[in-house]
Structure formats: structure tokens, C-alpha cells
Amino acid sequence: MKKRILVTGGGGFLGSHLCETLLEQGHEVLCVDNFYTGCKKNISHLLCNNEFEFMRHDVTFPLYVEVDEIYNLACPASPIHYQTDPVQTTKTSVHGAINMLGLAKRVKARILQASTSEVYGSPTEHPQTEAYWGNVNPIGPRACYDEGKRCAETLFFDYHRQHRLRIKVARIFNTYGPRMALNDGRVVSNFIIQALKNEPITVYGNGKQTRSFCFVDDLVRGLIRLMDTKDDFTGPVNLGNPGEFTVLELAERIIALTGSSSRIEHLPLPENDPTQRKPDIRLAREVMGWEPTVNLEQGLAVTIEYFRRMLGAM
């Protein structure tokens, strides 16, 4: 059935891929973004589609539209971006959630919150299950994002309990792929750009901290599958690739795939940087029949080619 779907943060890395996939499925898409971290170039190829509409808007202000579903993705997601204006980051998560929940309540729409693995903080449980409450520093430099997302989850579940709102909450683990911003400071894009330029690859700490990397196509498929689950399934549900790699392993793979002459350079570990991150995705498998299908080498090859083209065009 054709639906009118709102995607906040639709001009961003994840949002633009989600808009694209929803259009391919035959839906009408309203993309909302203020381009704080998103980019018009990410959605320029969609503007000629009659089923696609773009609105420049900041979700910290109310929005009055008629839609059937809402994907709330609006929020800077990389440390460089969310720490630049931490007060606005918190407002985007909290006020944005209130405004989108209010809209969903008014139009009786189903609504999905793009939460994050950062709600687990620096985990003392490994791998992380949805039942784990997390280990978060509420006053550290990452708290604007971590606690903002945690508060958004609280609001979603309170609206569900108090107003019977049809909610879905996805806890997204590290995701990568084409359309990542060149300057977003995340480990995959950082390493690829440094390798393509044959510059030193900067590894924070000893590089033994672990991460799990999910290709964007797998993640988008998971978000849509979560939205389409029955109303009695709210989540939260982990969406990520359970393959676990050290940061050093990632650097070495990228050097090999790019044929780079880069060497590895170690820098001090940032404050509150998690040492382990790996999703337990048993719930997504059992309820949604979802799991990633793109392995790290396949996803990195596509992403490297994207950045190679971007750097060549500069």
C-alpha cells in the first residue's frame, strides 16, 4: 500500500539512502532537513521524482504536515559535528523528539526513532543486548549526544504508554557507506581519506578497541523492516553488524584495499571513547528476520570507490 512518509534528517547520509529506498518501494516521501550536517547533493538526484518533496526545516520547531509514517533521523551523529554545538545537539534530540511525537499523535502516524548504540556508553556488558541499561557519563563531552538520544527513547516510550502512540525504536550501531561526509571524523571515512591521500592513518590509543561496521544498505533494510513490524513490537532493537574488528584491523584492511603507502600513527584516546562495541542482534533476527548480508570487504570496496570519486572531483 502506498504511504506518505516523512523522513527527518533526510538529506543526511542515512536519511538520503532511506528516502531513495522508500521511493523505490512506491511510496511518497517528504524529506525534511536543515542541512546542518546533511547535504543537498545527497538528494539532488531525487528532486526530479514527482513522489519526492523536500522541505528545509529544523525539527526543534513544530512541523504541521499530513503523513502516514515518520522516520525521525534528524541529529548530527559524528563526534566532530555533535560536539561543535552540544546544546543544539541536545535540543535536536529532545525537542525534535517532542515535536515529531506531537505530530505523530495529531495525525495518528506510526513513528520510528533512530536511536544509537551510544545509549550503551562505554559498555560493561559485551556484546550489548537491548536489556542492557548502559554505562554513560552524563556530564562528559559526548553526553549531548548519548543522553540526548537516551532522553528521546524515554519520550518515545512515555508517549506510547500515555497516548498509545505506535512507536518503533532502533539502536543503530556504526554504519558506513557512500554519502558519508568527507569531514565527519568517523573512523571509516577518516581512514579511507587518509589512505587515498597516502597520509598517516591516525589511530587513537593502541588501536585494540573494537567496533562493528554495518553497510548502509543493510541498515536501511533493517529500519524499513522494523517500521513494518506489528504494532505490539516497539523495540528497542539493535541494528548493526555483529562482526567485531579492532580499529587496527580496520586500518590495515583499508590500506590493503586502497593500495596505500600510508603508515599508522597513534594519537591519545579521546575522553569516554568506548573500548568495545558489538551488537547482539538476536532480537532483530527472531522478530524481523533481519541480519546484515554485506561483509566488511564488500562494503569497504564500494565506499572506497565513492570517496575516490569525491576526492577526484575536488
Catalytic amino acids?
Answer: 145
In eight-state DSSP terms, residue 286 is I
159, three cell numbers: 508517549
Q: CA-to-CA distance for 47 and 25, rounded, in angstroms?
A: 17
Helix intervals (H) in the chain: 13-24, 40-43, 79-84, 86-107, 143-163, 187-196, 216-227, 247-258, 282-283, 296-312
The bridge status of strand 210-211 relative to strand 69-72 is unpaired
**Grid-cell match 525537542, residue found:** 95
Other CB atoms within a 10 A radius of the CB of residue 96 amount to 26
Specify which residues 8 forms β-bridges with. 32, 72
- Nearest CA to 89 out of 5, 14, 150, 28 is that of 150
Residues 219/173, Cβ–Cβ less than 8 Å:
no
Give the span between the Cα atoms of 188 and 268, in whole angstroms: 18
How far apart, in Å, do the first and last CA atoms of the chain sit? 42
Whole-number Cα distances in Å, 7 to 76, 103, 145, 150, 292: 15, 13, 20, 20, 22
Answer positive or negative: Cα dihedral of 198, 186, 267, 264: negative
Interatomic CA distance for residues 69 and 89, integer angstroms:
24
